[in-house]
Chains A and B, each alone.
Chain A
Amino acid sequence: MAAVIDRFTMVVLRRRFEAAIREMVNALFRSGRSGVLNTAMDFSCCITDANHQAISTALGLPIHVAAIDLISRAVERKFGTDIRPGDCFANNSAYHGNTHCGDFTLSVPIFVDGQLVFHAIARAHLGDMGFPTPTTYSPLSRDLYEEGLMLPCVRIQRDFVDLTDVLDICKANIRAPEQFHGDYLATLAAVRTGERAVQALCAQYGLETVRAFLEQFQTYAEDMAVAAIKRLPAGRVTGEQRHDSEIAAYADGIPVRATLDVDPVDARIVIDLTDNVDNLPLGINLSEATVTAACRVAVLTILGPDVPRATGAFRRIELKLREGSAVGIPRFPAATSTATTNLCHVLNSLVQSLFAGLGDGLGAACSTIGNPASCACVSGTDSRYDGRPFANQILMGYWGGPGVPGHDGWLTFGGAGAQGMLWQSSVEVAEQQQPVLVECLELGVDSGGPGQWEGGPGAHLVYRVRHDPVRFTTNAGGNDFPPFGAGGGQSGGPSKAWAIGRNQERTTLPNSADVTLVAGERLESIACGGGGYGNPLLRDPAAVAHRAREGWISLDRARTTYGVVLDTSGERFRVDDAATQALRSTMAAAE
């Protein structure tokens, strides 16, 4: 039994570990080359201990870090005792604990006094990872062999020196090898920075103190989760939502099912996902890492901001997963390249929404599903720069936060895997880096799901191709099945995309589009909005007037959905209280 650490040391060491992770993040952000790293911050860093307990998953993308322990577990499983200082392991395989193959994950063992005590882990979504097509998502892949380069937890450094064979294989498969090498160095800088910081910390405080702190801190995290779960009502809720299908086998949509059990007495939450469909011949199958992270994140957001985002808190969450399920653990060689977005978005939101079934004022509606066409991966060559090739994902208009009790959806939410952490590209930077012109980037009117608390709108964006042909690949969702509401709220508007010819002829694009447009042609995208929470007739009429005046919702929606009658003659819209009350009574009676 380790010594009890005093409160003062607890405060100091907690902050020290968080500072070490922040240092890792900074190293990666500053030196990364891919746009998704140095603009969107689509990467995450974490530290786990020898028992694979994560100290803080507060920084970075939730879908990246909430199950990052699977990475150090994979290293231990594969290399056992053959792990020594100076090793570095690379992993982009969903069958070895990684999220999806677009995420390039490095981990290094951290040794103190000759013992393996920690792992420093950095996960970066790269601009290209050697897919057959220029994208890092491939929703239509039939199996793993259509998803390009695999690094199944392999050693990439020994004794702090690159194993060049592995790097050579990467560079031979990846479209932009120089960009890849820059990103590799940036990710390596992050894990080595973490290694140094943790070793310094252990040298200062002593390994025994640090170990005792870890034990006590995880217990604290667990205690906080226990206290939060004890405040929830008991109950079991089962739910099903659907994701758009692009295969005949599920013409009516792909179901995602979950059963939530909340036991406040035992302070335990169980999520059963075993009743889900088998692996699909599609890249949207979830990976163990994303299915686990999606559920943990869903529960943690409900438990509130005071609960530390650490493994101790996850101990109170039990997941029941089935191997060979699209919403479970994939069975080799199922494809998983799109495991961080589409089904993942539905699953996370579904679990959050089930809490609404436990009682009023709990849970959340669904946030945006898939990446809208405005977030396409774009590639081609740019004649403005002597034919320079480009391959990048533009993160623009990735919005649609969920309505939640007490708050409208966070606008720049961008899917449950990001929860608002991604940064939006600048129009001017995007136009400088790629030969496209953005003609419009505004919110889609009426795209937010109605509710007492309204879903965040989706983006309306138009790209015009300038001089050079541009290839767009997309992995949208939420078209047939837009983000659902919860607690009586309604779903957000559906996502839609079109290719528009020079003669203005419009062609509807599928969710998974791969289209090359030439000078003067356009791509138009309307992204799905977040679902609403609570009965729209309970929405504060002043908020309806405000959103109508601001042009987020139409006057028609104010009246026919919210039952609010507005006087729009002046500068500010005024609520006609008597007419609104009458209209709302009539509407409520008709419900």
Chain B
Amino acid sequence: MGIEISADVGGTFTDFVVRDADGRIGLFKSSTTPGRIADGIFAGLTLIATRRGVGLRDLLAGCDSLSIGTTVATNAILEGKAAKTALICTDGFRDTLLIREGGKADTYNIFVDYPEPYIPRYLSFGVAERMNAEGGVETPLDEAAVRAAIAQMKEWNVEAVAVALIWSIANPTHELRIGEILAELWPDVPFSLSHRVSPTLREYRRFSATAIDASLKPVVQRNIAEIETRLATDGFGGILTFVTSNGGRTSTREVLEKPVYLCLSGPSAAPHAGVTLARAEGVADGNVLTIDMGGTSFDVSIATNWETPMHREGLIGGHMFGVPSVDVRTIGAGGGSIARVDAGGFTHAGPESAGARPGPACYGRGGTRPTVTDANLVRGLLDPKGFADGQMELSVDAAATAIKDHVAEPLGVSIEEAACLIALTVEQNMVGAIEDLTIRRGVDPRGYLLVSGGSAAGLHAAAIARELGMRRTLVPDVAGVLSAYGIATGDVRFGFARGLFASSARFDHAAVNAVLAELQAEGTAYLDRMRVPDARRSMVFTAEARYSGQVWQLTLRLPAARIEPGEGLAQLVEAFHVLHEQVYAVRANDPVEFTEWNLLAIGHVARDASEAVRAEPVGRAEPVLRRVFLQEIGGFADIPVFDGAMLQTGVRLTGPALVQTRLTVALVPPGCSAHVTARGGLMIEVG
């Protein structure tokens, strides 16, 4: 058995986790080359090979699997670098991508631009055709209009085509026919059909998912082809997988077919990392809150009883990508979040960010406005010389000047107090994001373990936990590469879906069971392809269900892979009543309607392999003292700074104290205590 390598290609850094056959893991970070994910990956692989004292070919020859999380899809959407894509839609609905679903971020702010549609209107072609809600043909397909549209697209050098028709989920015949015409007239163009990409009710979500999917095909094909070629050249013979929006890994085949599933790839693996780490630390109830703080954003996810909820309303750049994704909330709060004071003396931090360029004032790259990183530096919490694995030196003076000019002087407080206020403000925003995911949904976070990811999140984790009434927070040894760790320990999984309307009042067992059988066959073929042994397979069937008269569906787990008349249907209906009561506190007598059938095919990783062990450090960890400004004591204090790598398992620390490793730093605030876990993490008990 060889090594397994996992990579999370982010905007600034590519994080790596290398797992040896004996379960030992190594963590690495290398710079990302914008727009060229293969370069970032190979730079990292070369670095790993060098550190291990082998050549790249030897490293790859001994590598069983390479698993990749990549923001290539997310960034292509955000930066408008996806393919030039056209839309073929039902006549009369060219504006579906423009209208979206309504709503606006800030009611009172009318001085904002309305966003452009994902596909320009002039590249949207309405063709006469129409199905009704029951799948009946109201208007036959005008094939001549389809051919004319294709001719125009060719003339304009369109690179990909999205096909999305009203009610194609009830009857896909017209979409399929358009697909045939495209294949016949324009065999080279990649295209996506909405009922295949995301067979979901509500036209905007389906149209949007399809538009994004089609637009990603060329860029994803290009990148994957490049990675595959270079890997083959360098002697890689293992399995190449990608992390999808559902947090699991899958082969290149599925990703090439439905690249929309690459949305959120990377961050989507963080929830699993949090859960795995919590389990390894002996958390019994499976209630885990995972945060990941980067330079510009702060991601939160939750797992209750080990389950991370999925949803279908994920947005990238305001565009809904529509396919099931782990529910990760993102707000604009990170190290680069800019602080300011308003006319009434209130402090704000973010969502505006200094990004990597110019970056915080302390980077010395021309930034003059104060950021959260500047505030942490001024408070003494960051080592100016040991930042980002020693790759960058920070300027305390620049940070202090920025805070003085923009926060301290306007408020008439000291620079250090202003720095504390900036930190508090950003922490409050983070608390708000966590409350959105917990209290707002009736979940009490106090019974949860907070797992803190991100290089500097450990400076804020205890404060956040305290504000939320959470008792413990874990800063794991892998905090600096959390998503890469989630990839390394994640399952193989992919979803398959069919749209089919059914009602418990007149249930068509034959039709539903036919769909379920199709899904099962697809899932089995998939797990075969992924070489998953039988013992490690799961097939999770769900339906989107609601009471007759409702408009929002709940995701209902099916009790069985077939729904038999009588008892089988009664069980299914009862399962919905129970679910509805759990979520909304009431049950009704109305018939239950089903709009969509889904299968999640899972290949579980071997559990023992995920149990990493740590080599106990030898010798004593001697702390050094550093002057740190602490709001709790209203001034500076000399507090001990420990080298995390030198702390032995079980060592107890009493706050205030700082723990630094190569990639992370954590603060044990006054009144809190902490101990080093068997896996080398820091468990802070919040006082």
Contact = CB atoms under 8 A, between A and B. Distances in A.
B100 A412 contact: yes
Contact of A440 (B92, B167, B343, B584): B92
A7 B347 contact: yes
B578 interface: no
Contacts of A441: 92-93, 95-96, 99
Most chain-B Cβ atoms within 10 A of its Cβ — which of A7, A15, A23? A7
A228 B203 CA distance: 42
Contacts of A550: 120-122
Interface in B530-585: 548-552, 583-585
Contacts of A170: none
- Max chain B Cβ within 10 angstroms of own Cβ: one of A19, A384, A410, A442: A442
Nearest to B121: A550
A328 B103 CA distance: 30
B114 A411 contact: yes
B166 A11 contact: no
A60 B424 CA distance: 27
Nearest to A457: B95
A35 B551 contact: yes
A442 B93 CA distance: 6
B101 A424 contact: yes
Interface stretch (B22-30, B60-68, B296-304, B425-433): B425-433
A30 interface: yes
Contacts of B551: 35, 38-39, 429, 433
B251 to A, nearest CB: 33
Interface residues of A, number: 85
A316 to B, nearest CB: 13
Interface stretch (A79-87, A131-139, A206-214, A398-406): A398-406
A441 B435 CA distance: 37
A309 B95 contact: no
Interface string A196-230: 00000000000000000000000011011001100
B102 A38 contact: no
Contact of A408 (B98, B107, B113): B113
A588 interface: no
A297 B548 contact: no
A62 B108 CA distance: 8
A422 interface: yes
A185 B586 CA distance: 10
Nearest to B120: A550
Given A38-B551, A407-B111, A437-B132, A421 B103 contact: yes
Given A428-B166, A428-B201, A456-B114, A419 B104 contact: yes
B110 A19 contact: no
B633 to A, nearest CB: 14
A30 B442 CA distance: 11
Contacts of A39: 551
Contacts of A518: none
Most buried by B among A30, A40, A62, A228: A30
B440 A306 contact: no
Interface string A34-46: 0100111100000
Contacts of A41: 103
A215 B327 CA distance: 38
A15 B431 contact: yes
Contacts of A439: 92, 130
A31 interface: yes
Nearest to B95: A442
A423 interface: yes
Interface in B120-178: 120-122, 130, 132-134, 138, 155-156, 166-167
A431 B132 contact: yes
Contacts of A343: none
A234 interface: no
A41 B103 CA distance: 9
B108 A305 contact: yes
Contacts of B186: none
Majority secondary structure of chain A interface residues (helix, strand, loop or mixed): mixed
Interface string B175-211: 0000000000000000000000000011110000000
A413 B114 CA distance: 10
A30 B102 contact: no
Interface in B410-464: 411, 421, 424-425, 428, 431-432, 435-436, 439-441
Given A26-B440, A305-B106, A427 B347 contact: no
Where chain B touches its partner, the secondary structure class is: loop
B650 interface: no
A40 B155 CA distance: 41
Contacts of B109: 301, 304-305
B344 interface: yes
B285 interface: no
A300 B347 contact: no
Q: What interface size band does chain B fall in?
A: 35 or more
Given A19-B432, A409-B114, A427 B166 contact: yes
A304 B111 CA distance: 9
B346 interface: yes
A23 B439 contact: yes
Given A223-B343, A306-B343, A38 B132 contact: no
A31 B585 contact: yes
A239 interface: no
B102 A420 contact: yes
B440 A443 contact: no
A571 interface: yes
Contacts of A61: 107
Contacts of A221: 344
A411 B108 contact: no
Contacts of A305: 106, 108-109, 111
Given A301-B108, A411-B99, A433-B551, A8 B421 contact: yes
Nearest to B469: A204
B617 interface: no
B95 to A, nearest CB: 5
B145 to A, nearest CB: 15
A224 B101 CA distance: 33
Contact of A228 (B95, B156, B343, B436): B343
Given A223-B344, A412-B100, A15 B428 contact: yes
A10 interface: yes
B421 A7 contact: yes
Nearest to A439: B92
Nearest to B501: A432
Nearest to A12: B428
A171 interface: no
B111 A404 contact: yes
A401 B110 contact: yes
Contacts of B441: 26
B438 to A, nearest CB: 10
B440 A23 contact: yes
Nearest to B584: A31
Q: Which of B100, B346, B548 has the most CB of A within 10 A?
A: B346
B347 A11 contact: yes
A179 to B, nearest CB: 8
A38 B111 contact: no
6 contacts: A31-B586, A304-B111, A421-B104, A424-B102, A432-B201, A443-B98
Given A30-B583, A30-B584, 9 more contacts: A11-B421, A22-B440, A185-B586, A223-B345, A224-B344, A300-B108, A412-B103, A424-B99, A437-B138
Closest 7 CB pairs of A and B: A420-B104, A440-B92, A227-B343, A424-B102, A224-B344, A423-B102, A426-B202
